[in-house]
Structure 1
């Protein structure tokens, strides 16, 4: 089975690396296309046996599964170009929360789905979020699910929860990185530690933290309680976080959902132009 990736930006590259490095798909069975072809050809420096295609039409002629890894408006445009090129035995997949499998089904005569990746998939870890509709066969659904299992934990999410799930799975690494960077910067500002040492200590801590969470008996709450000895220093430091962090995270979800609703409105407008 041949896989196609249209768009080799951040998430397109994440999926390319995850598919190949996990050995889910041999690079000889992967075809990529990017509007700026030079970016696509750069991928051959790492994966010399994958195929570069010049056009979207060629992608439809070569691939059984096509991942649309572009911006939402471009996904609609590309899907429209594929309309008369794909058949019902092929699968076209959106990787953005604002374009659902149903949205693609309005434009395409083939099977459709949505797969939202995470940068953690490059490490053969983390979650992939999947949504399906009636267009996809059980065989194709099983194949997509089993492929994702080789580099992630696939989870099927409802349309209602796709945005919040994406905030945690896909946006989460950026949010966590910001918090850790802020903690390091504060440590450098308030103490004599240098930035390089602080970064090294934090990276080591997070790696160990993630390993602990692999234990079924360990939870976020239990880890916090193990560190927060009653009357100890951790509890005093926690008071600073409790004053500011909760409000910030409530704002995170308000802003991401507002942006999501705005994008969904635009998607509906773009779909109306083509249907």
Structure 2
């Protein structure tokens, strides 16, 4: 299978590197194009055999599946100018949440799906979120599910939970990285520990926490109960968090959904649906 990647920015680059590292695709299986060609050339220098294209039409013709990894408002123009090259046997995978599979299908006669990845996929872990188009063949569903399964745990979602699922899976690493940095900042400002030591300890704690959850040794609730002894130090810390956290995460999801609604209005205006 020849896979084209349109856009080698953050997520496009992560998919490319993860596919190669997992062994799911070899560099010779990958065709890439980027608005700034130097960014694509960086990957060619790193991975011998990878092909960098100057024009999108040629990449599409030479690829079986095309991953569209560009900004939401750039997708309409890309599809409109290239729709004749997306012949019936090909497959489009869009990775952005504000553009629905139905919108992509309206400009392409091939199999279409949306797969929202996560930065955690770079470590061959985490989740990828799938939504299939009405004309997407079973063969392409199985093929891309298997491909993404080599770098993530694929999960099918409905359109109604696209944003919140993406918040948890795709934005979640940034949210919890921010909280961890604040955790470290609090430790260094309130105690004698230095930032480097606190960062190492916090990072290793998170890795260990992830392993406990991955191996299903404890659930989230059971894990908190195991650590939080009644009347102990952890309990005091939890009480302090409860007093301060308030509506933090409620506000977070309200903010992301507000921005998502703005993006939806713009993409619906472009696609006319």
User: Could you say which TM-score interval applies, normalised by the shorter chain?
Assistant: over 0.9
CA contact 1:56–1:81 (8 Å) conserved in 2: no
Q: Is 1:95 matched up with 2:95?
A: yes
Within a 5 Å distance, the mapping from 1:57-68 to structure 2 comes to: 57-68=57-68
Q: Give secondary structure in 2 for the equivalent of 1:107.
A: coil
1-side partners of 2:270 and 2:219: how far apart? 43
Q: Is 1:196 matched up with 2:196?
A: yes
1:124 matched to which residue of 2?
124
1:30 matched to which residue of 2?
30
| Deviations, residues 167-218 of structure 1 (Å, cap 9, x unaligned) | 0000000000000000000111111111011001111111111111122342
TM-score using structure 2 length? 0.97
1-side partners of 2:21 and 2:96: how far apart? 23
1:244, distance to aligned residue in structure 2 (A): 2.8
Extract unaligned runs of 5+ from structure 2: none
1:262 matched to which residue of 2?
262
1:213 matched to which residue of 2?
213
Tell me how many residue pairs correspond in the alignment. 273
1-side partners of 2:47 and 2:241: how far apart? 44
2-side partners of 1:146 and 1:21: how far apart? 15
Extract unaligned runs of 5+ from structure 1: none
2-side partners of 1:86 and 1:158: how far apart? 25
Within a 5 Å distance, the mapping from 1:34-49 to structure 2 comes to: 34-49=34-49
Q: Runs (4+) of structure 1 moved beyond 3 Å?
A: none
Within a 5 Å distance, the mapping from 1:1-275 to structure 2 comes to: 1-272=1-272
RMSD: 1.1
TM-score using structure 1 length? 0.97
